[in-house]
Structure 1
Amino acid sequence: MSEFKPPLKRYRRDDEETDSDNDYVPYVPVRERKKQELLKLGRLSKLKEDSGKKVKSSSDEFDDDENEGQVWGRKSNISLLDQHTELKKLAEAKKESEMEKQLKEEEKILESVAEKKALMGVAELAKGIQYDDPIKTSWKAPRYILTMPEDRHENVRRKLRILVEGEDIPPPLKSFREMKLNKGIMAGLAQKGIKKPTPIQIQGIPTVLSGRDMIGIAFTGSGKTLVFVLPLLMFCLEQELKLPFKPNEGPYGLIICPSRELAKQTFDIINHYMTYLERGNYPSLRSCLAIGGIPVFESLDVIKRGVHIMVATPGRLMDMLDKKMINLDICRYLCMDEADRMIDMGFEEDVRTIFSFFQGQRQTLLFSATMPKKIQNFARSALVKPITINVGRAGAASMNVIQEVEYVKQEAKVVYLLECLKKTMPPVLIFAEKKQDVDAIHEYLLLKGVEAVAIHGGKDQEERSKSVDAFRKGHKDVLVATDVASKGLDFEEIQHVINYDMPDDVENYVHRIGRTGRSGKTGIATTFINKANDESVLLDLKHLLIEARQTVPLFLAELESENEKYLQLGDERGCSYCGGLGHRITDCPKLEAIQTKQASNIGRRDYLANNAADY
């Protein structure tokens, strides 16, 4: 049996010897401890002293060193108003840091998708050729304008809401006479009833006449076409007077358009002013149209006599350059109308190839109503000291268009069209996304006795041209079309645009409704939407309506974005990739769709290449 051993007794002296001074914990009353726990759990406030001043209440005087400078809970010696102000400052500081993170993330995305050398030829890139100075021209602004102070020019721009970026910006000129335009051109303007320049022309025409590269952004129907057509006519006339063009020489100026209809319209405008130049006893200038759907020999007949100006679509132009039907050896003037749409439509490789055919420096102009930051960025990197002229926000809808958005079920759209047609007198333009919808609407309207014509990419060029001409001349009341008619086409007296369906891209919406409300007139745009539409596009539409001070219907007003607080960061609104106001680039559906398409094409291209190798 083991002997019982009593436990060793510990004396206070032993405790004092073994415990160190650092382990000393003072007694805190239970009530005080509970109070501290509740305050920490509730986190009523957590303030950091700015100037090293440390506020400590009686309950905090035994806190650890780590908690110095922090005050937990409500303080009896600080008023509630002061506490609220401090909390607000902290919240704003936190919000700013979140916004900085968001902006940095967006910059990375934009850099990764931006094509910085799309407007440079392959040969120039390979040789490292870079032009530092703009092309010099013989044109100068009137002397009395040049002697005016810069403040005067800024005041003119401010009043007309013209935003300009760049070096050595030419002064704005408020009359065609000050621009020193030819008498024949002035007669052509008078015949069209154009008496004074629009804001984009006031700053744009002097810029182009000065030989500067330019990015022009303005509302649809603001007169952008004349900004590049009139200076080009002046340059060509000067060249012809100095040394007449010989056979097979030219073109001196090249205008590229994304659609055949827009190219034909630009060609007709150029011919109008050329006619008036001839009537003024000036040397005759020659222009040719190079688009798909018309015989090539019609263009070659003009080229053989020497051509001054060529208006073309990318596909036909590429074909003629590859077959050496034309050359760009003396071409010194290039304009890309609706430039952003051309890039979006997949002509980017074609544009780069076209640039490779130039033999020297050229003056490059880009124009559009919707030009997101991604297009502007790579344009600035490739152009020579470009001047960006912006009248209104890029991608904004015209303020002269009354926008009406109506909820219409898919099956009721065709029937409701007849009700919408009663809103105004003809002519009326109806847009649909799909070719089969265009044909169905056209057939339905004809059955109901409406004088209508239709165009889309599936119809041959002769039929498309006849339909557009009949509508333009007033022989037909309604034109039904896909987006081939939305880019830059100008129809006089058009009063009403109907969007049979909301496009997948808000940029297309802006271009569509811009067919009315042109040249200072007022128009109406009616858009059908329903549950089939993507929410991100509807959010863009909602914010576009708010910006244009239009009535926002209840079903749109109720839509809320998850990142509503990030829709405007600094001076930039909405998405910098597509220009939509209802989302940021981090949530851009268009960018996501393009990236998905590119990813799928990589695999498909490899597959096709392997199959080609087998055969």
Structure 2
Amino acid sequence: MAAATAASPATANSDGEENYEEYIPVAKRRAMEAERLRRLRLSKPASAPSSSAAEVVSDLPPPPPLPPNHPTAGAGGGGSDASAKPSLLVKATQLKRAAPEVTHTEQLIMQEKEMIEHLSDRKTLMSVRELAKGITYSDPLQTGWKPPLRLRRMPRAKADELRRKWHILVDGDDVPPPARDFRDLRLPEPMLRKLREKGIIQPTPIQVQGLPVVLSGRDMIGIAFTGSGKTLVFVLPLIMVAIQEEMIMPIVPGEGPFGMIICPSRELAKQTYDVIEQFLVPLKEVGYPEIRPLLCIGGVDMRAQLDVVKKGVHIVVATPGRLKDLLAKKKMNLDNCRYLTLDEADRLVDLGFEDDIREVFDHFKAQRQTLLFSATMPKKIQNFAKSALVKPVIVNVGRAGAANLDVIQEVEYVKEDARIIYLLECLQKTPPPVLVFCENKADVDYIHEYLLLKGVEAVAIHGGKDQEERENAIESFKNGKKDVLVATDVASKGLDFPDIQHVINYDMPAEIENYVHRIGRTGRCGKTGIATTFINKNQTETTLLDLKHLLKEAKQRIPPVLAELNDPLEDEETMAKESGVKGCAYCGGLGHRVTDCPKLEHQKSMAIAGSRRDYYGGGGYRGEI
């Protein structure tokens, strides 16, 4: 207490109170200092100070002493150093004045970059074990495959010239050279013969570059328009991996798989499984080891799937829900799995399977080769996916989200009540088969019933029907027994209907990505198709602007109802060039920027709704869709 009560030398001495100086509060001292500086500034002329000014300054009283604990105490003696050390407010003002003028366009671009960085700052697509132990992989997997010597010696300039010719954009280090012939890929003869039987003589652009990349063991993001042959890019190398592993060390009961393909819908998984089986049959016939694939989807008895697992499985094609179920129950393990493909990767994330996929990653015990494929993969998915990939190669054929140029797009304004009648007229445009898309299940059932009453051979599928009914409908439509398939977007993701000449959008989807996938069911493998879309006042202006820009990009006829729309992006080509992103970086729509993205707003509202359900005790568990 003695130290606390002792008077300082500045306030008292041995003479008691004779030399006592009155205490001046800090606020008052600051006011006095400000007044002194003001007077000093007023007395100082624009040029050098005069003698009279110097006298005025000399007549000013000295500033009061500051206490030792004051922030500016000991920094040059009171306020004499104020001009040398301006306040933070003064510094900020000076910086603002010195900063260059920021235009409105530059300000929007900066805002978009911040939004994209924030969107990309999500949990990385890695297993919990890898994150916890800090495990990272720096080198891609080695497969032992090498292209022929003449391709390895191909000059880089010639490889770039071939890519320009095929409109292939690549991004990555040490990209393997493109292969213009299937024989250059060193595939077994039975696989080459099967390709010829299917009428596939020359590889498509995505196959020209994608197959050498995957066969060499590199991680890859593959982006190409619908119907361009992406499935073969990841199916053929997977079969090669399975054969190689089986020949080196045969699989025993309960082991496997060596490779896995994850799809967003059961129909797409079944289609991919059928493609794999088509190539395995001729291989087995000529003496190659037996390769057992497994179709792991919901809606099917799990016991039949477990029987295949018990024998030892080489390849698994799965939907996320059933796969997660098998792994959680320890009915199957991924100890030997080193090949993973996410087909329609952006749809897997959008449909809410992101956490399921991350749980699947937890079951990998070592490094794997990871491949992501889609027709619509905006930057936000690419940035998010790169966390799981090792030195990835991005192979892009055309703009991500662009429509297939082999599809003639016809957009017609049809009133809500007249759509069902006009649908019958549209069915007369081309011979069957015809695919009709709707937004909701109720419309699918309504149109299906109406067409049956009118004598049209039609079938329908949507998420509310059981798996057997869905499979029978798809099978009868593919075999030509039925002329029309009415479906929701469950049939729009990657399904291959080779002979479809006409797709009708009974509803214009709210997201332009779904529109691109829908019309991509026709015009496949170089054939020409027609897509008719009904629009009316129920669609938002943002959706219609996205459609208008998509038609303009594909050099299609723009109907008057779209041409008359007030387009805010028509004069913003400069912004697209400066930002490096044309349209929206979140959903790929060309009619708006990311700051006005309706899909982003919807995702935010869904996230808020989900958090509220958890807060009030609801939700918390999402079963398989």
Distance 1:105 1:610, change over 3 A: closer
Partner of 1:574: 583
Q: Are 1:408 and 2:390 counterparts? A: no
Tell whether the 8 Å contact from 1:442 to 1:454 is kept in structure 2 after alignment: yes
Instruction: State the alpha-carbon separation in 2 of the partners of residues 610 and 136 from structure 1.
Output: 44
Aligned residue in 1 for 2:109: 103
The answer as to 2:601 corresponding to 1:592 is yes
Matched, 1:339 2:348: no
Q: For 1:557 and 1:111, locate their aligned partners in 2 and report how far apart those are by CA, in whole Å.
A: 34
In the other structure, the counterpart of 1:522 is 528
Per the alignment, residue 120 of structure 2 pairs with: 114
Structure-1 residue corresponding to 2:386? 380
Which residue of 1 is the match for residue 307 of structure 2? 301
CA shift at 1:596, angstroms? 1.4
Secondary structure in structure 1 of the residue aligned to 2:551 = helix
- What is the correspondence of 1:137-536 to structure 2 with a 5 Å cutoff? 137-536=143-542
After superposition, give the CA deviation of every residue in 1:251-304 in whole Å (9 maximum; x if it has no partner).
Answer: 110100000000000000000000011122111100000101111112111111
Q: Is the 8 A contact 1:116 1:377 kept in 2?
A: no
CA deviation string 1:188-247 (max 9, x = no partner): 212211111000000000000000000000010000000000001011101111111110
1:430-457 C-alpha deviation (Å, 9 max, x unpaired): 0000100000000000000000000000
* Residues 257 and 315 in structure 2, CA contact (< 8 A), matched pair in contact too: yes
What amino acid is the match of 1:602? S
Whole-angstrom CA distance in 2 between matches of 1:610 and 1:252? 35
Q: Please report how far the alpha carbon of residue 366 of structure 1 lies from its aligned counterpart in structure 2 after TM superposition.
A: 0.1
Tell me how far 1:609 sits from its aligned partner.
6.3
Secondary structure, counterpart of 1:480 in structure 2: strand
3-state SS of 2:185 partner: coil
Contact persistence 1:116–1:381 (CA under 8 A):
no
- Indicate how the Cα distance of structure 1 residues 605 and 564 shifts in structure 2: closer, same or farther if over 3 A, else same: farther
5+ residue gaps, structure 2, are: 1-44, 47-99
- Could you say what secondary structure the match of 1:327 adopts? coil
Number of residue pairs matched?
A: 522
Following superposition, the deviation at residue 99 of structure 1 comes to: 2.3
Taking only the aligned residue pairs, the percentage that are identical comes to 61
Cα distance between partner residues in 2 of 1:464 and 1:115: 38
8 Å CA contact 1:118, 1:348 repeated in 2: no
- For residues 107 and 421 of structure 1, what CA distance do their matches in structure 2 show? 46
- Residues 292, 313 of structure 1: 8 Å contact kept: yes
> Any idea what SS the aligned residue of 1:389 has?
strand
CA contact (8 A) 1:561 1:583 kept: no
State the one-letter code of the partner of 1:527: T
Q: Which shifted more, 539-548 or 273-282?
A: 273-282
Q: Which runs of 5+ in 1 are unaligned?
A: 1-20, 23-92
Q: CA deviation at 1:563?
A: 4.8
Q: CA RMSD in A?
A: 1.8
CA contact (8 A) 1:118 1:351 kept: no
Describe the SS at the equivalent of 1:225.
helix
**1:71-116, Cα deviation, whole Å (9 max, x unpaired):** xxxxxxxxxxxxxxxxxxxxxx98x832221111001111112254
Shift of 1:569: 1.7
Q: Which residue of 2 aligns with 1:124?
A: 130
2:180/2:203 contact within 8 Å kept = yes
310-319 vs 180-189, greater mean Cα deviation:
180-189
Match of 1:602 in 2: 611
- Name the SS for the 2:616 alignment partner: helix
Contact residue 116 and residue 379 of structure 1 kept, 8 A: no
User: Any conservation in 1 of the 2:222–2:394 contact (CA below 8 Å)?
Assistant: yes
Equivalent residue letter for 1:584: R
TM-score between both structures, scaled by the size of structure 2: 0.82
| Secondary structure class of the residue paired with 1:177 | helix
Q: Deviations over 1:585-607 (max 9, x none)?
A: 00001101111121122122111
